[in-house]
Structure 1
Amino acid sequence: MTGTAPDGDQTRRAWIEAVEALWPGAHVEETGPGEADGARRELAFLPNADRPRLLVPAGLPRAAAAALRRYSSDLGLKQRVSRGLTAAAVRTGLPERTLKDRVRVTGGDASIEDHLAALLGRPVVLSIGLGSARANRKPILHVLSPDGKPVAFVKVGDTGTARDLLAGEAAALTYLDSRLPGPGSRARLHVPRLLHHGTWHGLDLLVLEPLPTSARGWRPRGRAPLAEMRTLFEAGGVERAPLRDSGFWDAMTVSPAQVLDERQRARFGDVVENVGKAHGEQVLDFGAWHGDWTPWNMAWHRGVLRVWDWERFARGVPNGFDLLHYRLQESMRTASGPPYATWPDAAPAVLEPLGLTGAAADATVRLYLLELCRRYLLAAQEPIGEPLRADTERLLDLLHSALAGGPSPRSDTPPHAGSGRNS
């Protein structure tokens, strides 16, 4: 794809390239309905090729409907109900005719469908999702039986960043499998079971069990799941220590060396140094966090909280990170103005339900934003990290101003923590 192509052409080409990688050696081209004679697989763009959100298997209405029901948890109630009703209609096969933009796959070698069928021991078809261009973009495959039963979810690592995230999620799920409380516990938290982590045709594959959720599943955004967050935080144990004596701080102090841009490296190093001076003696509890716990990465089903996307899981972080991330990522949905324009005066109050107040709450907020800045800096320097770079600069400016002796920008509202899709 060329740098001079219009954004729409680049987007369409990215989807075609994803299909080409999943059907090695095949001829992949855009077509319309009724042009798939002799095709090995035909996929339909939803809603269309100009605004692609999903590729669903054409000619298999039950599988297409199942993919649509599960597609995108990042929706409001009205949208999710509408999506569920649309899926019910698609299941009849009639509305599929309106999906005019198709991708035809002909010829080629053994495909990802063939490989997954061998791994899972049954015939499968795929729907394909591909996020917007950013450092952590990766194809997401919903693996279905031809009659629409969910079989697995697969994340495909085709960049260095994506491969690292998949390896991190595989390690996290393996670690949590034996450490989270069982079905009899009061705080019931279910993480997907890891079915396979390996390499196929130069792509890393993370194969996960499908969680029992749907577009109409219950996702109460007004109440954060505090008990479940506490359960996760305590998985593997809790350590209480001054910040400067923690493994978290040891890792943070060496992270500026990973920043390639000399100016940003120096400024981030100054911020880290000044946070250490301000809060190094603060005693905090350190445990585990999900790393991207948001209302759209979870759903309740039969009294159990199902949580997915464990790529950012980490241990030894200060208590409160998950709750801050949940609330601050949520707040950006209705916030006006650019992210990180003002300092979050109201953020410490978010931590009161955890018993964190005063200096401990202030330190936790600063450490969370520092961790987010570190994450953004490293992701933004990737080849497709451009969408994060403006937010990264604002966050670095905000932290540098507030923590390096300058006047702190003030606000009475929580910070806009950027989009969960970018974090």
Structure 2
Amino acid sequence: MSGATKAAAWVETVEALWPGARVEPHDRRAPAGRGGTGAGSGGTADGHRRELVFLPDADHPRLLLPAGMPGVAAAALRRYSHDLGVKQRVSRSLAAMAARTGLPERAMRDRLRVHGGEGASIEDHLGELLGRTVVVSVGLGPLRANRKPILHVLTPDGAAVAFVKVGDTPTALGLIAAEAKALANLAGRELPGIDVPRVLHHGDWRGLGLLVLSALPTTALGWRPRRSAPLAAMRALAASGAGRHEVKLADSPYWAEIQQVPARLDDAGAAARLAEVIERAGERHGSVALEFGAWHGDWTPWNMSWRRGKVQLWDWERFADGVPCGFDLLHYRLQEASRTAARSPYEHLPSPELAAELAAPLGLSGAAATALAELYFLELCVRYQLAAQEPIGAPLRARADQLLSLLHAGGHA
């Protein structure tokens, strides 16, 4: 099967989700079968439990979809984030309509067939938890420290039931535990203008961690210009919990915690350089008074959508209280720019002028804006340095070192 190397991680994931099963690539040159037509452990004419189709193919895998279920394929395609423009929404809607006919699947030759297994599959287990018959599509991102399987849980006719994050590494287990804790915390807060997933289940299954979340419905009609950052929602989140409070950076619990990070690094050289960066930042900005509050931690156009005038916001793994207010806005703007700008906005620290421009919607300027921008870069550097030393964090090492070198040199745009 073409793309076998890229597909290897997907095969391993399917083997974990169907314990004890034999997972075999289906040669694209062979006629495409109907695949599984039932849910859970239902068998097929040639004896395999499930056939999964690579979308678009094994060379460029984005999703694995249950074969022979056009409603499921259509539902998997009908996911709309704020990152999608009008043309992309129309294209995705048309693709979902076509998928309903079952015709596009016939051209998809790259498949995995699941044979046998030991007891309940992930579909069986989730069906028991959710009280209905379900199937799953499987997503798996590129190799990085925080990669984890994401399951879209649906009924066999394509009704969305839940999303599941699977903890299959120590790092992933820690992240889904952090998200479960964050969502439990947020459930008791007033969040005007924001919809947050509910935790339906958090527990272990056959050596894997499972975080089962309610599905936030998205629509192709929930479109706004991408430049419209959700400022009101960001302010609402920042003020939730203990609320926003102003204090000098040097006197904040946030700064005390940042100062402890170098001791957590395995690389002594990186730890020494980071400690120097932190010391210099404290000298420059320690006396600056900043507002502190809550932040999402990864608020981007692709982690949100609009529906009925509210922001639907997912991926709460990095949520934290007591950080400088404005981190969410800077992250949103710079992550957005990283997809469209000629060069990465993370190649240089923002100049005082650019920092003031980025922070203007927050009412910040001068020393406060400059401090906010540098602290945001330091926050990302700390995150990447810690993640890069995780078991599968090697792909992040170059970015972590680049940010540390940038901060150490004090390079501004």
Q: Same fold (TM over 0.5)?
A: yes
The Cα offsets for residues 360-390 of structure 1, whole Å up to 9 and x where unpaired, read as 1111111111000000111112232232222
Equivalent position to 1:234, from 222, 230, 239: 239
Aligned equivalent of 1:401: 409
Q: 2:137 is paired with a residue of what secondary structure?
A: strand
CA contact (8 A) 1:220 1:295 kept: no
Aligned equivalent of 2:348: 342
Unaligned runs of 5+ in 2: 36-45
The Cα offsets for residues 116-169 of structure 1, whole Å up to 9 and x where unpaired, read as 000000000000000000000000000000110000000001111111111111
AA aligned opposite 1:103 = L
Judged with a 3 Å threshold, the aligned counterparts in structure 2 of structure 1 residues 216 and 102 are, in CA distance, closer, same or farther, namely farther
Equivalent position to 2:71, from 62, 67, 71: 62
Aligned equivalent of 1:30: 25
Aligned equivalent of 1:417: none
Aligned equivalent of 1:206: 211
Q: 2: CA distance between counterparts of 1:43 and 1:174?
A: 34
Where do 1:158-237 residues align within 5 Å?
158-181=168-191, 187-214=192-219, 217-236=222-241, 237=243
The Cα offsets for residues 226-245 of structure 1, whole Å up to 9 and x where unpaired, read as 11000000001222211111
Q: 2:405 is paired with a residue of what secondary structure?
A: helix
Q: 2:189 is paired with a residue of what secondary structure?
A: coil
Aligned equivalent of 2:385: 377
Judged with a 3 Å threshold, the aligned counterparts in structure 2 of structure 1 residues 105 and 60 are, in CA distance, closer, same or farther, namely same
The Cα offsets for residues 154-193 of structure 1, whole Å up to 9 and x where unpaired, read as 0001111111111111111111111124xxxxx4111111
Q: 1: CA distance between counterparts of 2:345 and 2:364?
A: 25
Q: 2: CA distance between counterparts of 1:258 and 1:219?
A: 42
Cα deviation, residue 391, structure 1: 1.6
Cα deviation, residue 70, structure 1: 2.1
CA contact (8 A) 1:339 1:391 kept: no
Aligned equivalent of 2:50: 41
CA contact (8 A) 1:77 1:216 kept: no
AA aligned opposite 1:15 = W
Where do 1:355-374 residues align within 5 Å?
355-374=363-382
Q: Which moved more, 1:336-345 or 1:353-362?
A: 336-345
What TM-score does the superposition give when structure 2 sets the normalisation length? 0.92
Cα deviation, residue 339, structure 1: 5.7
The Cα offsets for residues 254-277 of structure 1, whole Å up to 9 and x where unpaired, read as 011111111111101110111111
AA aligned opposite 1:38 = G
Q: 2: CA distance between counterparts of 1:314 and 1:398?
A: 25
Aligned equivalent of 2:285: 279
AA aligned opposite 1:121 = G
Q: 2:78 is paired with a residue of what secondary structure?
A: helix
CA contact (8 A) 1:53 1:129 kept: yes
Equivalent position to 1:125, from 111, 117, 135: 135
Equivalent position to 1:14, from 9, 13, 30: 9
1:247 matched to 2:256? The reply is no
What root-mean-square deviation, in Å, do the aligned CA atoms of Structure 1 and Structure 2 show? 1.7
Equivalent position to 1:86, from 77, 80, 95: 95
Judged with a 3 Å threshold, the aligned counterparts in structure 2 of structure 1 residues 159 and 176 are, in CA distance, closer, same or farther, namely same
CA contact (8 A) 1:339 1:394 kept: no
The Cα offsets for residues 280-320 of structure 1, whole Å up to 9 and x where unpaired, read as 11111111000000011111111111011101000000010
Aligned equivalent of 2:147: 137
Q: Which moved more, 1:209-218 or 1:130-139?
A: 209-218
Q: 1: CA distance between counterparts of 2:339 and 2:279?
A: 32
Aligned equivalent of 1:420: none
Q: 1: CA distance between counterparts of 2:3 and 2:294?
A: 40
Aligned equivalent of 1:317: 323
CA contact (8 A) 2:349 2:377 kept: no
Q: 1: CA distance between counterparts of 2:152 and 2:234?
A: 27
Q: 2: CA distance between counterparts of 1:280 and 1:67?
A: 48
Unaligned runs of 5+ in 1: 1-6, 182-186, 403-408, 412-423
Identical positions, percent = 62
CA contact (8 A) 2:51 2:111 kept: yes
Equivalent position to 2:307, from 284, 301, 304: 301
1:410 matched to 2:412? The reply is yes
CA contact (8 A) 1:219 1:299 kept: no
Q: 2: CA distance between counterparts of 1:327 and 1:339?
A: 10
Number of corresponding residues = 394
1:259 matched to 2:258? The reply is no
Judged with a 3 Å threshold, the aligned counterparts in structure 2 of structure 1 residues 267 and 9 are, in CA distance, closer, same or farther, namely farther
